[in-house]
A and B are shown apart, each in its own frame.
Chain A
Amino acid sequence: MDEEASRLLDGDLTAAELTTMLERLKHDTALRDEVGMQQLIRDGLAGLRTPDDGYTLRIIARLRRAQMGGK
C-alpha cells in the first residue's frame, strides 16, 4: 500500500509532499486507483457501503467537461 496516499487522505503531508503527490497523481493512474481504493475502504469502515460502480469517475468526468467549457 502506498504510504504517501494514506498520508494524503489523513491530511498528514507537508506542503512540499502535497505538491509532489499532486504531480504524481496527474500522471500515475495506479496511484489514483490506490487513493480511490483507500478512500473506498475508509468510507466502508465508516458505514458508507456503496458499490464501486464508477460513481466517482462520473462526477470527475462532468467536472472536467465543465472546466473545458461544456455542461
Chain B
Amino acid sequence: MIESQLAGGVDAALVARAQQGEMIAFEVLVVKYQRRIAATVRRVVHEDRIAEELTQEVFLSAFVALQSFRPDGDFAAWLFTIARNAARSYLRSAQNRQDDRPIQPPDEAGDSDRLGVAPSPEEEAMAHQLFKRIDAEVAALPEVQRSALLMREIDGLDYKAIAVALGQPVNTVKSHIFRAREAIASRARPLLAPTRDRRW
C-alpha cells in the first residue's frame, strides 16, 4: 500500500511533532515562515532592526504558546495573527513612549545574536547579486519549466492546478518544477557559500 501524504498538511504535522518536544520540527517552521513574518512586521513598523527583533518575539511567543495550538488549526494564520498583533502593539507602545528604541538593546543579547541589527552594505550587495543571478537563471529556463515554477512560487498554485493549466500530468509538473529549482540552486549555491556559517 502506498502511504498518502500528510492528512492535515505538513505544517500540522510539524506542529504536532514540535508539541511532542521535537525542536527540529519547529525550526523547519521558522525556516519556512521567517521571511514572510518579517515582511508582515516590516510593513507595519517600517524599520529593519525593529522588524527583526519583533520577528524573533513572534516565533518565541508561538513556541511558548504552541501547546495551546489546536491540531485542526491553521498554523500560518495563527502565526501571522501573532505577528500583526506584535507589530501593532509595538507601534502603540512606541507612540505612548514617543520613543522608537528597540525593546532590548542589541548589546544586551550578545554579539552572536545581533538582535535588531540591519544588514550590512556587503550583505545587501551579496543579496542583490544573488537575486540577480536567480532572475537570470529563471529567464534562461525552458518555457514549460519557467511557467510551472512561477505558477507555483508566485501565483501560489498547487500541483493539480498547474497540471490543469499546462495540460500535463501532475508528476510531469512536479518534475518540471524540481528541475527548475535544481537549475536555480546550482547557480545560487556558490554565491551562498560565503555565508554558510550564518545559516541554519
Contacts and interface: CB of A to CB of B under 8 A. Distances in A.
A52 B127 contact: yes
A66 B63 CA distance: 9
Contacts of A51: 119, 123-124, 126-127
A48 B41 CA distance: 13
Counting chain B residues whose Cβ lies within 8 A of the other chain, the interface size class is 35 or more
Contact of B178 (A6, A42, A46, A56): A6
User: Which of B31, B60, B120 has the largest number of chain A CB atoms within 10 A?
Assistant: B31
A60 B35 contact: no
Interface stretch (B77-85, B88-96, B181-189): B181-189
B60 A53 contact: no
Interface residues of A, number: 50
Contacts of A26: 24
20 contacts: A8-B10, A11-B11, A12-B174, A14-B6, A36-B199, A39-B32, A40-B192, A45-B149, A45-B150, A48-B36, A49-B131, A50-B127, A51-B123, A51-B127, A52-B127, A56-B30, A56-B31, A58-B114, A60-B27, A67-B23
Given A11-B10, A66-B63, 20 more contacts: A1-B181, A1-B182, A12-B10, A12-B174, A18-B14, A36-B199, A40-B192, A43-B35, A45-B149, A45-B154, A51-B126, A52-B192, A54-B114, A55-B34, A56-B34, A57-B198, A59-B55, A60-B30, A63-B27, A63-B59
